[in-house]
Amino acid sequence: MTNSTKIKQSGEPGNQLSSHFIKTLISRDLEEGKHGGRVRTRFPPEPNGYLHIGHAKSICLNFSVAAEYGGQCNLRFDDTNPAKESQEYVDSIKDNIRWLGFEWNGEVRYSSSYFDTLFEFANQLIASGHAYVCNLSPEQSREYRGTLMEAGRNSPDRDRPAAESLALFAKMRAGEFAEGECSLRAKIDMSSPNINMRDPVLYRIRHISHHQTGDQWCIYPTYDFTHCITDALEGITHSLCTLEFEDHRPLYDWILNSLDLKSIRAASVLADSDSPYVLPRQTEFAKLKLNYTMMGKRNLRTMVEEGVVSGWDDPRMPTIAGMRRRGFTPASLRNFCESVGVSRREGVVDLGMLEHAIRDDLDKHAPRAMCVMKPLKVEIGNIPEGDVIQLSLANHPKDESMGRRDVPLTREIFIDRSDFEIDPLPGFKRLIAGGEVRLRGAYVIKCHHVERDSRGEVVLLHCSADLDTLGKKPEGRKVKGVIHWVSATDGKTVSIRLYDRLFLVENPEAKDIENYRDCLNPDSLIEVSGAVVEPSVFEGSNLRFQFEREGYFYRDGDLTATENPVFNRTITLRDSWAG
């Protein structure tokens, strides 16, 4: 890895973000010579779940802004709550960032790597009279905190001598207290209209093993204490957060300004640098909200734990892992995030914008193939049994550079049951008894006889092919319909999963919805077995295809498996939800 942010090129990356207020801020800082002309951002995920599309917006913003200004973007895990964190989440987050096409500056960083330094800074705050050990229980602390309409009350321990708090904090570190028995709190203002400034907790006791540090610690710093200091230690210039952290910004600044700036500089990565040292600035932007989608990580975890979905990577989930498994491309997510833009105004983005982004990308880059979902056998009587006519079809109708593929036409083929009717409605332009239709990329066929089973179901169509119609119109008659097909002998049987939106309502997280399960779309997953695809689907390295007339699909699961391969529908050809 290098010392600068890298963006991998794949597809149409959309790396250059359009102008927005954060870029205006950075440009002004650079013009004024702030930070010595440096730009360094960071992406600080909590490893307590899988990243979702909202995180993708933050990733694209932090990495792309740094790259555009020739700067760097760090990846730092905010791993200060071991009760909800795991190495599984760490690994998935790193994997998904790289899949999106980004590479972080230097090594992966962890807040836990700074625990020793954070502990020293906490002692500094105690010694300077800016923090104290409080013996109120968590329930008592909430009671003393007050409300939005009522000021808080001082803890009985607020005026505890610094020496006594230092001794107690050392005992906390040594594991001499039970969880909840005491905490370290900042001494700010219990009457502040900003509740975050009412002597917030800086350290709490957790007798829990940590996925990075093991059992070295039994006290863990809070996010508010950790985030600003680690930003400063890493030389972050622009700390970009979503709007829910706006009310935390005064605390961010208070902690940094209450510490000795020289000691921060001495401990930072810029200690030996000639660059002027300026404390980082937190700037907030609106988070991404999608309709018909639950975005809260707690709610996503609930759906996983209650078995509503098959896991964090269920293709119906808004997680990056789920979207990958469904067949979304890195370029489509980056382009979507760019189209949404960056602002300070909260709003809900139409899910159709995301669906358009993937549909647009796949339309340009996905090769075409034929898949028959509900096979109906057709016997073409004038093609000898055992003969194979190899037809050459374009992989993409608008892109010759994608080449061509061989598609075998044999005596027996499958067409979709929906492409044949005995008693058709007016306007039906596919195959009927006694009628003609063109096979995609092949000949015109005519149906002469229909076989039914004992229940009256159509099981076989006896047809003939006009072998003089390959690539040209039949003489003396007009054939309007074109249908897709697959060789019955050479085609490959697959399973198909048809995915759709998981929820039927625009805001499944609305306060007036008592149970989100009542809003689930019963047709969000339809499984189809016995579908048949043309053999070319398995002959190359492509995993994404447009199955003609059916939609865009992505091969799922073990790609080496030869039995029952599965294809997930990424998106339909057209927006079926448009009103």
Q: What is the pLDDT of residues 327-348, one digit of tens each?
A: 999 999 999 999 999 999 989 9
User: pLDDT tier at 285 (50, 70, 90 boundaries)?
Assistant: very high
> What's the pTM value of the predicted model, to 2 decimals?
0.92
User: Does residue 578 surpass a pLDDT of 80?
Assistant: no
Between residues 392 and 16, the one the model is more confident about = 392
Q: Determine what percent of the chain falls in helix, strand and coil, rounding each to the nearest 5.
A: 30, 25, 45
DSSP lists the bridge partners of residue 102 as 7
Among 15-24, 197-206, 466-475, the minimum mean pLDDT is found in: 15-24
**Region 462-483: what's the mean pLDDT?**
93
Burial of 452 (0-12, 13-18, 19+ CB in 10 A): exposed
Beta strand 551-556 pairing with 544-547 = antiparallel
pLDDT tens per residue across span 171-201: 999 999 999 999 999 999 999 999 999 999 9
- CA dist., res. 450 & res. 462, Å (int): 6
**Region 107-120: what's the mean pLDDT?**
97
pLDDT tens per residue across span 259-277: 999 999 999 998 888 878 8
User: What integer pLDDT is reported at residue 4 of this predicted model?
Assistant: 47
User: Does residue 55 surpass a pLDDT of 70?
Assistant: yes
| Residue where the block lists tokens 């230690």 | 233
User: pLDDT tier at 12 (50, 70, 90 boundaries)?
Assistant: very low
User: What integer pLDDT is reported at residue 9 of this predicted model?
Assistant: 37
- Phi, psi (rounded to 5 degrees) for 238: -130, 110
- Angle ∠(255,261,262) on CA atoms, nearest 5: 150
- Phi, psi (rounded to 5 degrees) for 377: -75, 140
Smallest CA-to-CA distance from 50 within 13, 7, 99 is with: 99
The proportion of the chain whose per-residue pLDDT surpasses 90, expressed as a percent, equals: 90
User: What integer pLDDT is reported at residue 16 of this predicted model?
Assistant: 47
User: Does residue 13 surpass a pLDDT of 70?
Assistant: no
User: pLDDT tier at 3 (50, 70, 90 boundaries)?
Assistant: very low
- CA dist., res. 404 & res. 130, Å (int): 72
Across the chain, what does the average pLDDT equal? 94
pLDDT tens per residue across span 134-179: 999 999 999 999 999 999 999 999 999 999 999 999 999 999 999 9
Six-digit token string for 84: 């909800």
| Residue where the block lists tokens 């730009």 | 39
- CA dist., res. 443 & res. 474, Å (int): 9
- CA dist., res. 63 & res. 105, Å (int): 10
User: What integer pLDDT is reported at residue 579 of this predicted model?
Assistant: 52
- CA dist., res. 59 & res. 111, Å (int): 18
User: What integer pLDDT is reported at residue 18 of this predicted model?
Assistant: 65
User: Does residue 573 surpass a pLDDT of 80?
Assistant: yes
pLDDT tens per residue across span 238-250: 999 999 999 999 9
User: Does residue 504 surpass a pLDDT of 50?
Assistant: yes
End-to-end CA distance of the chain: 48
C-alpha 126, offset from chain centre: 41
**Region 525-543: what's the mean pLDDT?**
95
User: What integer pLDDT is reported at residue 575 of this predicted model?
Assistant: 82
**Region 445-454: what's the mean pLDDT?**
96
- Angle ∠(19,21,248) on CA atoms, nearest 5: 145
Domains and CATH numbers, the chain: 1-285 (3.40.50.620), 297-365+493-533+549-579 (1.10.1160.10), 369-491 (2.40.240.10)
